[in-house]
C-alpha cells in the first residue's frame, strides 16, 4: 500500500493472490482486493492492513468498485457478486451477460460499467441491484488496450489508461461533445488505474515483461513478468 500524499510504501496486504484491483470503504475502515488468480475478494482492515476475510466469486474478476451510496462493493465480472461493505456479506448478484472491464459510481445509486465485448455501457441500480439500461457506444474509439477510466469533476476531464503506455485525456465541453486534449506517456502495459480526486494524482500498476519459449506447440511463446520489476507509476499535474 502507498501513502497518497508522500507516495511511500506503508505496508503490504497478505493473502491477495493475483490481485487485479482494490477498493476502499473509508467510513468502515475496510479495503477490498479483487484476486483474479483464485476468484476471490480479500477484505482487509485499512488501519492495520490485516486480512479480515475472503469472499469466493463465481469467476475471475478484474476491476473492483465501492459505491458510497449503497455502501456496497462490486467486483466486476460477467456475473457480479455484490457485497455489503460493512459486513462483507453477499447482497445480491448482477448478471451482465457480457465481458466488463471497469466501472464508476455517480454516488447517487447508479453504477456505470463498460462492456468491452459489446461496445456498450451497462447502467446498474446499485440498491436493487439490477441492470436498468444499456447504451451502445459503437462510434467511441480511443488508444489501444483501454482498461480503466477516471473523471475529474473540477475540470470535466476524463482519463482513459491504455496498455500501449499512454493516458488519453478527454475534455467534456458539453454533455454531447468531447475532445481529446492530451496524450500522456506512461509505461507499457500500465493500464490498471486509480484517480485520486483530492490530490489529482493518477496511479497505474505495471511491470516489465519478457517473452519466453514454452514446450506447448499450441502456444510456443508466453509473456512473463520480470522478477522485481513491478512498479506503481504516479502521474500528477504541474
- What is the domain-level CATH number for residue 4? 2.130.10.10
Regarding whether 4 and 122 lie in a shared domain, the answer is yes
Regarding whether 182 and 145 lie in a shared domain, the answer is yes
> Given this model, what pLDDT does residue 3 score?
67
**Domain range spanning residue 18?**
1-139
> Given this model, what pLDDT does residue 147 score?
81
Regarding whether 149 and 130 lie in a shared domain, the answer is no
Do the Cβ atoms of 147 and 139 come closer than 8 Å? no
Task: Kindly tell me the number of DSSP H helices and DSSP E strands found in the chain.
Answer: 0, 21
Regarding whether 220 and 162 lie in a shared domain, the answer is yes
Q: Structure pTM?
A: 0.75
Q: For residues 168 and 180, give the distance between their C-alpha atoms in angstroms, rounded to a whole number.
A: 7
> Given this model, what pLDDT does residue 17 score?
61
Regarding whether 184 and 129 lie in a shared domain, the answer is no
SS3 content of the chain, % helix, strand, coil (to 5): 0, 55, 45
Regarding whether 149 and 126 lie in a shared domain, the answer is no
Q: Is 233 exposed, middle or buried (0-12, 13-18, 19+ CB in 10 A)?
A: middle
> Given this model, what pLDDT does residue 47 score?
92
Last residue of a domain, one of 82, 109, 139: 139
Number of other CB atoms surrounding residue 133 within 10 Å: 12
Regarding whether 103 and 175 lie in a shared domain, the answer is no
> Given this model, what pLDDT does residue 140 score?
65
Last residue of a domain, one of 92, 123, 139: 139
Regarding whether 92 and 30 lie in a shared domain, the answer is yes
| Number of structural domains the chain divides into | 2
> Given this model, what pLDDT does residue 139 score?
66
Last residue of a domain, one of 110, 139, 168: 139
> Given this model, what pLDDT does residue 169 score?
92
Q: Residues of the chain whose pLDDT is less than 50? A: none
Regarding whether 156 and 92 lie in a shared domain, the answer is no
C-alpha cell at 139: 462510434
Amino acid at each position: 500500500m502507498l501513502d497518497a500524499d508522500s507516495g511511500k510504501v506503508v505496508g503490504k496486504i497478505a493473502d491477495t493472490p493475483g490481485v487485479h484491483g482494490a477498493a476502499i470503504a473509508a467510513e468502515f475502515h475496510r479495503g477490498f482486493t479483487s484476486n483474479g488468480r483464485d476468484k476471490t475478494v480479500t477484505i482487509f482492515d485499512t488501519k492495520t492492513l490485516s486480512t479480515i476475510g475472503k469472499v469466493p466469486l463465481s469467476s475471475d474478476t478484474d476491476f473492483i468498485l465501492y459505491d458510497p451510496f449503497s455502501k456496497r462493493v462490486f467486483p466486476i465480472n460477467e456475473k457480479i457478486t455484490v457485497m455489503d461493505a460493512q459486513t462483507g456479506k453477499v447482497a445480491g448478484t448482477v448478471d451482465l451477460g457480457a465481458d466488463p472491464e471497469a466501472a464508476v459510481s455517480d454516488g447517487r445509486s447508479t453504477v456505470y460499467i463498460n462492456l468491452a465485448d459489446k461496445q456498450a455501457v451497462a447502467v446498474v441500480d446499485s440498491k436493487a441491484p439490477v441492470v436498468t439500461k444499456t447504451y451502445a457506444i459503437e462510434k467511441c474509439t480511443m488508444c489501444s488496450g483501454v482498461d480503466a477510466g477516471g473523471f475529474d469533476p473540477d475540470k470535466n476531464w476524463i482519463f482513459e489508461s491504455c496498455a500501449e503506455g499512454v493516458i488519453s485525456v478527454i475534455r467534456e465541453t458539453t454533455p454531447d461533445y468531447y475532445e481529446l486534449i492530451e496524450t500522456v506517456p506512461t509505461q507499457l502495459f500500465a493500464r490498471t488505474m486509480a484517480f485520486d480526486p483530492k490530490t489529482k494524482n493518477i496511479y497505474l500498476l505495471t511491470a516489465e515483461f519478457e517473452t519466453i519459449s514454452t514446450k506447448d506447440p499450441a502456444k510456443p511463446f508466453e509473456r512473463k513478468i520480470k522478477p522485481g520489476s513491478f512498479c506503481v507509476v504516479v502521474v500528477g499535474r504541474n
